[in-house]
Chain A
Amino acid sequence: DAGITQSPRHKVTETGTPVTLRCHQTENHRYMYWYRQDPGHGLRLIHYSYGVKDTDKGEVSDGYSVSRSKTEDFLLTLESATSSQTSVYFCASGTGNYGYTFGSGTRLTVV
Chain B
Amino acid sequence: AQSVTQPDIHITVSEGASLELRCNYSYGATPYLFWYVQSPGQGLQLLLKYFSGDTLVQGIKGFEAEFKRSQSSFNLRKPSVHWSDAAEYFCAVGAGAQKLVFGQGTRLTINP
Q: Is the CB of B34 within 8 A of A95?
A: no
Q: Is the CB of A96 within 8 A of B44?
A: no
Q: Is the CB of B98 within 8 A of A96?
A: yes
Chain B's closest residue to A105 (CB) is B43
User: What total of A-B pairs shows CB separation below 8 Å?
Assistant: 59
- Given A95-B94, A102-B44, A45–B51 Cβ distance below 8 Å? no
Q: Is the CB of B32 within 8 A of A43?
A: no
Chain B's closest residue to A48 (CB) is B99
Q: Is the CB of B43 within 8 A of A99?
A: no
List A48-69 residues whose CB lies under 8 Å from chain B: 48, 50
Residue pairs across A and B with Cβ atoms less than 8 A apart, 19 shown, are A4-B43, A31-B99, A33-B99, A42-B104, A48-B99, A90-B44, A95-B94, A95-B96, A96-B96, A96-B97, A96-B98, A97-B95, A97-B96, A99-B34, A99-B46, A100-B46, A100-B100, A102-B45, A105-B43
